[in-house]
Amino acid sequence: MSVSVKSTSVKSTSVKRPTVCAVLALPFAIALQNGVAQTDSIPELGGLWTNASLTSLTRPDNVSELVVTPEQAAAIVANTSIAGLPADQIDAPEARTPGAAPPAGSFDFGLRGYNDFWIDPGSTLARVRGEFRTSYIIDPPNGQIPRLENPQTQIRRSFGARYVTGEGNADGPEALPLSERCLVGFSNTSGPGMMGALYNSNYQFVQTEDYLVILVEMIHDARIIPLYDSAEEARANTRPVEHQPWFGDSRGWYEDGWLVVETVNINPKQMAESSVAITQAGKITERFTRHSDTEVIYQFTVEDDNLYRQPWTAELSFHATEGPIYEYACHEGNYAMAGILAGARRQEAEAADAE
């Protein structure tokens, strides 16, 4: 399939180290420039995209193949859980007044934060180059993360039990997950290692001569990635390790028709809750290329000898979608935080009175 190419021409790709002025001027560049022209070495990536699907990072235990037929894909989807529940149990079975909260002790009370009105995870397995994929991981071939049995560093925190039961540490705001505090999107939607989630799996890519900007609908995250002439120049312009920004220090360059983005020094708090975790010694390398008018192929490779037996690679696609990207209003951060903490203090007071 041919790829449409915009008529705008690309100036010299020589890029100086981004300055403060350049970063401050970036919103104006976004407003004035919608993209760059595609060449053999530079893929045109600008546009509105979605990576929503029912495929997970790792392959289900009862599935051996990476690529399946449409019939096999439909059978897998029929048995795929959403938010830990079978697809046909997202809505509670008992009748209740529309709009009313579920009664205490009912099927869905305290078991999940969403019913099917709120979620939009996609309806099929991930499609890459027209193939249905059973996992994002393509290497190792078994579709599993090659974690070390005894890693040198344990950085992963799981909030799965908190999501299912509603119970967890509420000593203060910092005890709650970053996504619950509306600081970083959950399910690694923003990456590095960008994957779809329960909803809001939409993105806007804005590509200029000097930057790729990725606006993520989930929690309105934005990644601003400076572009350089080569890997050597990009790596020579890393930021001080003390910075530790959300989404890390990402720098990109073009290579054989791909945009390559290498990220190091990701904030440790983000990594502790990430399904694509690395330590300070690790790095994540993302690769983007345009496959067709409506598809961008996206790969990411995770390397960290502290956590994994070998580097591992995932692949998925961003598919063209209609806009706009909506503003994300994170009510957990707006007012629910006060309710969570106030409820915990009330429980503590009641427990103290009972003694």
pLDDT of residue 185: 85
What span, in angstroms and rounded, lies between the C-alpha atoms of 114 and 85? 11
User: Is the Cβ–Cβ distance between 266 and 250 less than 8 Å?
Assistant: no
d(CA 85, CA 108) in angstroms, rounded, equals 11
Return the closest-CA partner of residue 184 out of 145, 223, 226, 213.
223
Is 221:247 a contact under the CB 8 Å cutoff? yes
* Residue 88 CA to its chain's centroid (Å): 25
SS3 255: strand
Strand, coil or helix: what is 318? strand
Q: Tens digit of pLDDT for each residue in 329-354?
A: 777 666 788 888 999 999 999 999 99
Distance CA 334, CA 112 (A): 20
Six token digits for residue 279:
């330590």
Dihedrals φ, ψ of 139, to 5°? Answer: -145, 120
Are 128 and 137 a contacting pair, CB within 8 Å?
no
Task: Supply the pTM of this predicted model.
Answer: 0.82
Distance in angstroms (rounded) separating the CA atoms of residues 203 and 42: 20
| For residue 103, pLDDT beyond 80 | no
User: Which residue has 């001080």 as its token pair?
Assistant: 240
22 has a pLDDT exceeding 90: no
Greater confidence, 32 or 264?
264
Instruction: Name the pLDDT band for 15 (thresholds 50, 70, 90).
Output: very low
Q: Identify the band that residue 151 occupies on the pLDDT scale cut at 50, 70 and 90.
A: confident
Distance CA 313, CA 303 (A): 9
Ranking 95-99, 273-277, 282-286, 289-293 by mean pLDDT, the lowest is: 95-99
Each residue's pLDDT tens digit, 197-227: 888 999 999 999 999 999 999 988 899 999 9
Q: Where are the beta strands (DSSP E) in 244-311?
A: 249-255, 258-264, 283-292, 295-303
Of the pLDDT bands very low, low, confident and very high (cuts 50, 70, 90), residue 113 is low
Which 3 state secondary structure label does DSSP give 222?
strand
CA 34 to chain centre: 23
| Residues 352, 340: Cα–Cα separation, whole Å | 19
Mean pLDDT of the chain: 83
Predicted local confidence at residue 195, as pLDDT:
95
Given a cut of 60, is residue 186 above it in pLDDT? yes
The most confident of the ranges 28-37, 83-92, 313-322 is: 313-322
